[in-house]
Structure 1
Amino acid sequence: MEQPPQHRYWVNPEKARYYQVHLDRDLLGDWTLRTVWGGLGSRLGRMHCTGVASYEDGIEQVQAIAKRRAQRGYRCQDRGE
């Protein structure tokens, strides 16, 4: 069974910051974890893309990121992805 891509989006309204993570396959079929962050209302930001060994490893990393975001005051928001 094919695992669905995972997308999460967090916002820290107090600091006007956002953070998002995407777990999906690249063109070669390998799983990649892409993180994007920056300031709300700004066109500036950063992106980092890294390969993960498996879908399960990627899910573990997404969960660890979610925990860190919550500790830093970010709130998860659904963007309809």
Structure 2
Amino acid sequence: MEAEAAKFIGAGLAMLALLGVGIGLGNLFSGLYQAAARNPAAIPAYRTFIFIGFALTEAAGLFALVIAFLILFG
């Protein structure tokens, strides 16, 4: 196998983490919508936790993207 092909395969495998990020964000926001539908008055209490969860989940995706770029161009 050529080195260039191995780099592409490695970068593709690093991007598999985005599958988990998509599933995690779907679960996060579906839970938010269900909680808001049940008790709309409590949304301000959820807002901080939702933003923290969103930021941490997106950070995992960004780390995977950085690793893929390091594999490709490093």
- After TM superposition, is the score higher than 0.5? no
Q: Which has the bigger relative contact order, CA under 8 A and spacing at least 6?
A: 2
Q: For the pair shown, which has the larger CA radius of gyration, 1 or 2?
A: 2
When normalised by structure 2's length, the TM-score is 0.38
Higher helix share: 2
